[in-house]
Structure 1
Amino acid sequence: MMLSSYPLWWLALPALLLPVWWHRQKRQRLKAEMLATARFLPSAPPEQLRVWQWRDKLLLLVRCLMLAALIAWLAATIFPWRGDTVLVDAGVDKAWAEKEIAAAGFSAAARAELPPNALQWLRANERDWRADAKLLIVARASQIAMPARLPQYNHQLTLRTHHAIASSPTASAAAPAERQVVLAAPDARSAAWRALFAAFSSAGEGVARYATAVEPDAKTALIVWDTPDTAPPANWRAPHWWITTPAAFPELANATPLTINGITLKYAHSPRGRLWTSDAFPPRDASTARSLYEAWQLLDAAPAPAYPAPSQTFTAARSALPAIVKAQPASWLALALLTLFMIERILAHARRN
């Protein structure tokens, strides 16, 4: 099975129309012989006529096949072109980065910006580097997460990470995470909801800060829908919804019940996000609000932070094949292309004679 290393070459398939157009433009002149009485006739330009013979159609087919084989060969063949390269994190300390690059012997190497998920990206695109190329990653420690399994590459990879030192205890303290909440409720109930999320922000030693908004965007973590007899706009999306009127959401008809910390919740999945409803929305006393907060912390737990990767060197493991291992140079396509070219030259010579 042949896979494409560079599938964008297949976009050149419309070029197969070029041989057809070229053949349609070919014209063959009729042979004209001068007669003795021709001097009494007005001069006329020689006529041209399209003549399609069996060898013309065969020649057209061979040229189309040759062009298709060329595109397939380019799409399936790997052309390593990169040499020694340094992937530099844009936010790393410049002086430290230059020192590490010089110490590693990569002063003359090409430089590129560090992509997101650099180790995974390098694994998927390693085929672009020549066999003798070496790579260096210079980045902040927070930008390179230590993988669960030590990766293997076909090229030697040197990783240099920089741990920023906080200048003061206040600088090292992590800022509270901001959770944006879209509040859709009448004025009579908005005050209770705002007071609830203000209490959420001060609870848990300020781990998270809840800010209310009018309409959702990419940062929205929760939508509170407390508008009776009204359905939300179709384009509203959020990871979680708190709903006080389940009738507006048909998905909640088959909701799954769940009891956490004395709070009974029902939830259902939908294209809008995960829908939650409960008789405790909104809480009517401080005890219910505290129980709701503790239950929500269990349901909406933040992901564990990634462990930063230390500086290290990954030796070249030639047995570690790249991610696109099944893509071969397709030598048989090169032989087919050569054969088609020879047939095309023979047919073209026969056509002229």
Structure 2
Amino acid sequence: MNSWWWWALPVLILPILWHRQKREQMKAVPLATARFLPSSRPVQLRTWRLQDLLLLLLRCLLLATLIAWLADPVLPWRGDSVLVVPGTPPAFVDRQLREAGLTDARRIDLPHRDAYRWLHEHEREFDPQARLLLVGDVAMPAALPRLRHALTVRPQAVPAPASERHVAVFSQRVDAWRKLFAALEGPQADVLDAQAGAKTELLIWDLPHAPPPGLRAPLWWVADSRAFPALEKAPQVDGLRYLDTPQGRLWSAPWLPPQDAAAARTLFETWQRLHLGVQPHTAPPQAPVVDARAPAGPNGGALRDALSAALLVLFALERIATHVRRR
């Protein structure tokens, strides 16, 4: 839609007409000796001073630059390219380049896993005939995107790095909670602490009395709702009551801690989905269908910053020239 702004270029005739129609107001004063001069018809001469031509040029350039800025032009300066997701092993990238016949393609390191979103924002920068290869742990989109260029996806899932998650347990049934977390498998290790600290991500309160006011954590599992009477009227989701308080978000259920594998699996899946967020899956190998009518990405082409700077410079020069002309 931005290209429609080029139809506004005829407005450049407005400053030209305005400069041609502008006149200096002259006041005629009769002279006493004018009666001795032969009578003649007055002749008006139109002359353009250098300042006027310079001012006219600046105003035309200012309008033309503003129209170009609104049209948001983009020069397709990128050719064949390989888009690399962060964390992709270099050996895997080199092997995929050789197999795709793109050894001379330019390598572009993406800022995040959502490669399709980045490509949608920058697709206008690629030449229409450019071939694109996407490699690495690509996040799978909800729907296959529509692209204007031929794209081949060669994914490789990257294992999650090992990490620790600190859990503070306040309970008379510490062994039951330890067995629950010991059954978990994966790269993330759960460290059970007797006291809450700055690294605590989960606090388990399995005591009937209220906790100290200064005790805080992003998420609480409350096994005994008597410690928080407000939980009795709190809303529910997946069998859990939840309540946001100044001390953190509270989760409570009568079956805490879980007594069987199914209940434990449900609890941890709910924890992952509602509090930590679901991590995107790795996209499968695919080659989206090329659609020349696919919508262009958002505004912000390669020339937008340069045109913005040009607008500021031209506006300043036009103001200076106008001030000098008035003097």
Cα distance 1:270–1:71, how it changes in 2: closer, same or farther (>3 A)?
Answer: farther
Q: Are 2:263 and 1:267 aligned? A: no
Specify which of 273, 276, 281 is matched with residue 251 of structure 2: 276
- Contact 1:256-1:267 at 8 Å conserved across structures: yes
Q: Counterparts of 1:258 and 1:148 in 2: how far apart (Å)? A: 24
2:105 aligned residue: 109
Q: Are 2:87 and 1:87 aligned? A: no
SS at match of 1:108: coil
- Contact 1:144-1:309 at 8 Å conserved across structures: yes
| Amino acid aligned to 1:182 | A
Q: Counterparts of 1:243 and 1:310 in 2: how far apart (Å)? A: 41
CA deviations on 1:26-85 (whole Å, 9 max, x unpaired) are xxxxxxxxxxxxxxxxxxxxxxxxxxxxxx9xx99x989986984685375132443322
CA deviations on 1:83-107 (whole Å, 9 max, x unpaired) are 3221124544434422321332322
Cα distance 1:154–1:250, how it changes in 2: closer, same or farther (>3 A)?
Answer: farther
- Contact 1:229-1:245 at 8 Å conserved across structures: no
SS at match of 1:159: strand
Cα distance 1:252–1:71, how it changes in 2: closer, same or farther (>3 A)?
Answer: farther
Q: Are 2:210 and 1:228 aligned? A: yes
- Counterparts in 2 of 1:4-43, with a 5 A limit? none
SS at match of 1:99: helix
Specify which of 259, 263, 283 is matched with residue 290 of structure 1: 259
Q: Counterparts of 1:244 and 1:150 in 2: how far apart (Å)? A: 46
Q: TM-score, normalised on structure 2? A: 0.56
| Amino acid aligned to 1:97 | V
Specify which of 130, 134, 144 is matched with residue 133 of structure 1: 130
Specify which of 176, 182, 186 is matched with residue 168 of structure 2: 182
| Amino acid aligned to 2:69 | L
Cα distance 1:352–1:275, how it changes in 2: closer, same or farther (>3 A)?
Answer: closer
1:309 aligned residue: 283
- Contact 1:78-1:127 at 8 Å conserved across structures: no
Specify which of 255, 274, 284 is matched with residue 234 of structure 2: 255
Q: Are 2:143 and 1:149 aligned? A: yes
SS at match of 1:195: helix
- Contact 1:268-1:276 at 8 Å conserved across structures: yes
Q: Counterparts of 1:243 and 1:65 in 2: how far apart (Å)? A: 73
Name the stretch that deviates more: 251-260 or 76-85.
251-260
1:9 aligned residue: none
Q: Counterparts of 2:295 and 2:238 in 1: how far apart (Å)? A: 49
SS at match of 1:314: coil
Task: State the 1:111 CA deviation.
Answer: 0.9
Q: Counterparts of 2:98 and 2:145 in 1: how far apart (Å)? A: 25
Task: State the 1:135 CA deviation.
Answer: 1.6
2:41 aligned residue: none
Q: Are 2:72 and 1:77 aligned? A: yes
Cα distance 1:210–1:194, how it changes in 2: closer, same or farther (>3 A)?
Answer: farther
- Aligned alpha-carbon RMSD (Å): 5.2
Structure 2 runs not aligned, ≥5 long? 4-50
Q: Counterparts of 1:279 and 1:310 in 2: how far apart (Å)? A: 41
Task: State the 1:319 CA deviation.
Answer: 0.7
| Amino acid aligned to 1:119 | Y
- Contact 1:197-1:210 at 8 Å conserved across structures: no
- Contact 1:243-1:275 at 8 Å conserved across structures: no
| Amino acid aligned to 1:181 | V
CA deviations on 1:206-262 (whole Å, 9 max, x unpaired) are 578642243254x82x2224573521456x423x44265766x686373246895xx
Q: Are 2:211 and 1:237 aligned? A: no
SS at match of 1:86: strand
Structure 1 runs not aligned, ≥5 long? 4-55, 165-171, 284-288
CA deviations on 1:250-301 (whole Å, 9 max, x unpaired) are 86373246895xxxx64324576531245676x6xxxxx516x754532431
Q: Counterparts of 2:237 and 2:99 in 1: how far apart (Å)? A: 58
- Contact 1:216-1:237 at 8 Å conserved across structures: no
Q: Are 2:139 and 1:159 aligned? A: no
